[in-house]
Structure 1
Amino acid sequence: MSQPFDVPAYTIAAYLRIASIAVALYDYLETLPTIIRFFREQYKSRRLSLSFVLLVLIRASSILVLTISNVGFFYGKFTHATCKKFFLLPPTFKVLQVMVSQAILGVRAWNLARRSRRSSYFLVTLYFIACVLQWITTLYQRTPDLGGPVHVSARQQILTSPGSLILAIMQQGNCRAFNQARQLGAWIYYAIAVVYDFSTTAVAVFYLLKYKMASNNSLMSKVTRMMLYDGIGYFIALAGVNVFNLILYKKGQDIQTAAASLAYCVSWIMSQRLLMHLYGVSRQRRDESIEEAITITQNLDSARIVSRAIRTQFEQKSGPLDLTIPDFDLGTDPGQAEIPDENLEIQKIIHAVRDIVGKLIRGGHNGSQTQCTPYSAVHPTLERPCSLYYLEVIQPKIAAS
């Protein structure tokens, strides 16, 4: 049953929804070239990384929830019957979107914690509890309601007695999922989201500060600072919108969903930025590795050591789940043995390797076909590892130069 229509609340909600759609559309167009470039790299490598899958999921779920939610709000020809079939779709897709967004935060914190067993148990348990509670509180005690400017759209003639007609009025309006402000229900969803965001952000910040203090590498410091700002910015933005929604849900019915579309938009943009910033750093790291000289700080006494050294210079170090480690190590593993000082020699920079490897990656010597692909580590024609190609081809050229 429709409630009395509050014109100011409806107007505020309409303006907020239009603003969120405009911002989301702008961000979609702005990030589209990066997404296409990311997709091409994944397609060429024939392997989908978790970061790319999550990026696709957050974009798809966000577009769906924004579309369905705003159709329910702006389309004014829902009847009571059609609204009963539609009203649970927007909150359902809302939970799906937030599950993807929270998965991004959870995997990010898990990787920063170096996938320790303790952090795995904590984050998986927290994610499971948050998802279950969010599903329950979103769908619990929701009722369909015709909101907005309800109007008479049709008249049906019903024959009640011979020669007598009664005009029955059929009302139409927009369709909303209403929740009583005093009941335990949808507003608790936003409180749960704030708690989850705070917990995962706290884990990530703890390890980022730990890495920042332990690392002297300039690139590592840059990435750590970027991830700190991204994580804290994400939490502040999402927490602010969720608190705003929580306050509105405790108010009247017409203002309940005023900022819902804004929350979808902010969650989409901030989650996407977390992934795209890391992708940008990863791409920059790979590009710089082509131009920089190779620095060798250890005696290379065997083909195996040479193979390992060259492979670590050019191959990707991140696996499919390395959402937050953009192609370089965050530090030395505790179980990794340190190199004895007596085996270290004066740092030697081989400038010739920079030119040769650059030519190989950019198209080969004298315009010939590329002889070795560093990221796949397999010779495209002879199925020969790059490290052996280094020993057989590049190293003699260096010795002769």
Structure 2
Amino acid sequence: MERVDVLVVGGGMAGASAAYELAATHRVVVLEREAQPGYHTTGRSAALYTQTYGPPTVRALTVASWDFYTRPPAGFADAPLLTPRGVLLVGRTDQEAELRQALDEGRRFTPAIRRLDAAGALTRAPVLRADYVAGAVDEPDAMDIDVHGLLQGYLRGLKARGGRLVTDAEVTAIARADGLWRVDSPAGRFAAPVLVNAAGAWCDVVAGLAGIAPIGLVPKRRTAVLVDPVTDSPAVSQGVNGWPMVIDVADTFYAKPDAGRVMLSPADETPMEPCDVQPDEMDIAVAVDRVERATRLTVRRIAHSWAGLRSFVADKVPVAGFDDQAEGFFWLAGQGGYGIQTAPAMGRCVAALVTGGILPADVAALGVTPGDLSPARLRS
């Protein structure tokens, strides 16, 4: 049995970022159930850094991640982790109230956002239909995230700090004895006083193996497709790489440029059991219909389709904290659709909470408290 200071269950972005930060001061092993890390949700993300997406706690964690994204440690990445994109929250005439609310909420953390009228929205995103859009909220500083580069940077950094990633290591049994969590897997047996449950959609399953009550995690399917940028204007189509990401202000669809093509989604949230989720044909049809109604895109074929699981707890705020009923069991769960953009700050938060029980000063200064993240809030 290999003994370390911290075992992290799950090698996706949540587990990798936490393990990297913890490895600066602890001996860490990450157990990943698949043959490669990031196979499930991490590898299927829309990959956007936006400070206007999610509840206030999520937005604060996103803002607190900015410095790492723009100035990562030396040698962490071979290329910039962020590249310019921009986000346009668009609305119809009947969505005026939603646009005002999005602007008011966004300004709390992102003063650079601005309100655009219909003409301004069409100038910013000429792919929009003039008879659809009545206005928009523009976040010009939103960025594309190099998810692969970020994940690999964390895993390289983990190794450089003496940590280890073990793949094909699905957890089959967990028990607490003599102050240690003892974990069985096909890759071996491991023990540590602290176990970080970062198993994504499987977090409640992992807790059950340890005899710990669930936190009510609900995995939800999100469907996406890639299509060619076919419009009624060659000039508009050829400019696809310069379009911002377009999101319906009511979050019923989005369209995002992706390497010369366009990623579409109906922004679906269908509850699912943890699994290797696959796209649903009806969701694909809904995505195409909604985007064709709002934009000048004509979808002639689906180049590629996929789905991922975004896991939420009741209040849709991520969970990071020790379980008050099980010594040394740390929850890192419920990242929903925010796990990539908040990963740098969340990784630091996990390391700080495991080590000393307080949050990093910059995160606390943005109004986040340990109670905001604690699993205890879900059982009160």
Q: TM-score range by the shorter chain?
A: under 0.3
Task: Return the structure number with greater helix share.
Answer: 1
- Which structure carries more strand by proportion? 2
Greater gyration radius: 1
So what's the TM-score if we normalise by structure 1?
0.24
Give the TM-score normalised by the residue count of structure 2.
0.25
Higher relative contact order (CA 8 A, sep 6+): 2
